[in-house]
């Protein structure tokens, strides 16, 4: 996997016969108490110094990823559009910068249905972001959550469920990452003997959770299961020597996981 282009809002890489592009929707600042120790206890003054803060808060990058086979483009997650803080919603600019015409995006796959991942289906002005969208894949366990989003009502009938273990098309396998949300899933993309695991919200705070994967996030729907999934996925990525791509890893959010003492370390590409 090699970087072939980059800018403020995107980085594009070759993966076998595919092009993978990291697209920066923006960032979101969160209080440090969202990080949880064992027993769901919020972090406070004891937050390790290795965690950088922006104005006293945790700054999470918000990224989406495009898979381009030269013909059509699959988008994994879509950013927040204008549904949350105004520090997000730059996906359309990122696509422009990367030279990806929104009309080439024929499929959107959701890692899960939290608002910073799904609302980019709709532009801030209310128009459809991807005018030729033909497939919309949603984790089966989260169809109900997706259909509760009134602003995305026009897409409710299009939602097509998938499950861990499914293979989609020629390049993508679904890997179970349940815990952060009921159907939270990773997309393992393979081409030409190379692999990347697009892992959604497996890690929210990279400066801490590779080193201490037991630390959870307030918005993990099931804290214990999220912790188990993170440990399993970190081990899988390290032992498989695949690349990983994270929605909240610092932009562009692509690299490798390596084992380090009893835990893990992230090596950005
Ligand atoms: Zn997220």
CATH at residue 146: 3.60.15.10
What's the gap in Å between 126 CA and the centre of ligand 1? 22
Query: What pLDDT was estimated at residue 58?
Result: 97
What's the gap in Å between 117 CA and the centre of ligand 1? 6
pLDDT in single tens digits along all 269 residues of the chain: 999 999 999 999 999 999 999 999 999 999 999 999 988 899 988 899 999 999 999 999 999 999 999 999 999 999 999 999 999 999 999 999 999 999 999 999 999 999 999 999 999 999 999 999 999 999 999 999 999 999 999 999 999 999 999 999 999 999 999 999 999 999 999 999 999 999 999 999 999 999 999 999 999 999 999 999 999 999 999 999 999 999 999 999 999 999 999 999 999 99
**Structure tokens given for 114:** 């939290």
Query: What does the alpha-carbon distance between residue 50 and residue 260 come to, in Å, rounded to a whole number?
Result: 16
What's the gap in Å between 171 CA and the centre of ligand 1? 24
Q: Tell me which residues have their CB within 5 A of the ion that is ligand 1.
A: 116, 201
What's the gap in Å between 247 CA and the centre of ligand 1? 6
Query: What pLDDT was estimated at residue 39?
Result: 85
Query: What pLDDT was estimated at residue 45?
Result: 82
What's the gap in Å between 188 CA and the centre of ligand 1? 18
What's the gap in Å between 113 CA and the centre of ligand 1? 9
What's the gap in Å between 248 CA and the centre of ligand 1? 7
| Distances from the Cα of 221 to the Cα of 38, 55, 149, 193, 226, angstroms | 15, 27, 18, 35, 8
| Distances from the Cα of 231 to the Cα of 161, 175, 177, 211, 258, angstroms | 26, 14, 10, 11, 13
CB 89 within 8 A of CB 194: no
What's the gap in Å between 44 CA and the centre of ligand 1? 22
Query: What does the alpha-carbon distance between residue 75 and residue 77 come to, in Å, rounded to a whole number?
Result: 6
Number of domains in the chain: 1
What's the gap in Å between 21 CA and the centre of ligand 1? 18
Q: Are strands 73-76 and 105-109 parallel, antiparallel or unpaired?
A: parallel
Half-sphere exposure at residue 189, Cβ-oriented, CA atoms within 13 angstroms: 26
The single-letter DSSP state of residue 178 is T
Q: Which structural domain, as residue segments, surrounds residue 47?
A: 2-268
Query: What pLDDT was estimated at residue 136?
Result: 98
Of the candidates 89, 105, 76, which has an alpha carbon nearest to the alpha carbon of residue 9? Answer: 89
């Amino acid at each position: 996997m090699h970087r072939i282009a980059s800018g403020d809002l995107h980085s594009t890489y070759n993966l076998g016969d595919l092009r993978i592009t990291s697209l920066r929707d923006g960032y979101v600042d969160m209080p440090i108490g969202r990080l949880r120790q064992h027993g769901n206890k919020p972090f406070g003054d004891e937050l390790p110094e290795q965690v950088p803060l922006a104005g006293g808060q945790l700054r999470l990058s918000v990224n989406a990823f495009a898979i381009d086979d030269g013909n059509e483009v699959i988008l994994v997650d879509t950013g927040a559009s204008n549904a949350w803080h105004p520090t997000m919603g730059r996906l359309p600019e990122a696509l422009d910068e990367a030279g990806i015409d929104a009309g080439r995006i024929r499929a959107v796959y959701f890692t899960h249905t939290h608002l910073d991942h799904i609302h980019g289906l709709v532009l801030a002005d209310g128009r459809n972001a991807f005018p030729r969208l033909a497939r919309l894949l949603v984790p089966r366990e989260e169809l109900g959550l997706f259909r509760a989003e009134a602003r995305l009502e026009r897409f409710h009938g299009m939602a097509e469920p998938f499950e861990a273990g499914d293979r989609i098309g020629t390049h993508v396998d679904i890997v179970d990452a349940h815990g952060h949300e009921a159907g939270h899933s990773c997309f393992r993309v393979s081409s030409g003997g190379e692999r990347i695991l697009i892992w959604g919200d497996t890690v929210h705070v990279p400066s801490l959770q590779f080193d201490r994967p037991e630390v959870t996030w307030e918005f993990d729907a099931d804290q214990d299961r999220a912790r188990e999934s993170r440990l399993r996925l970190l081990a899988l990525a390290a032992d498989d020597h695949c690349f990983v791509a994270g929605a909240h890893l610092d932009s562009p959010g692509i690299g490798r996981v390596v084992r380090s003492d009893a835990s893990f370390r992230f090596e950005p590409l």
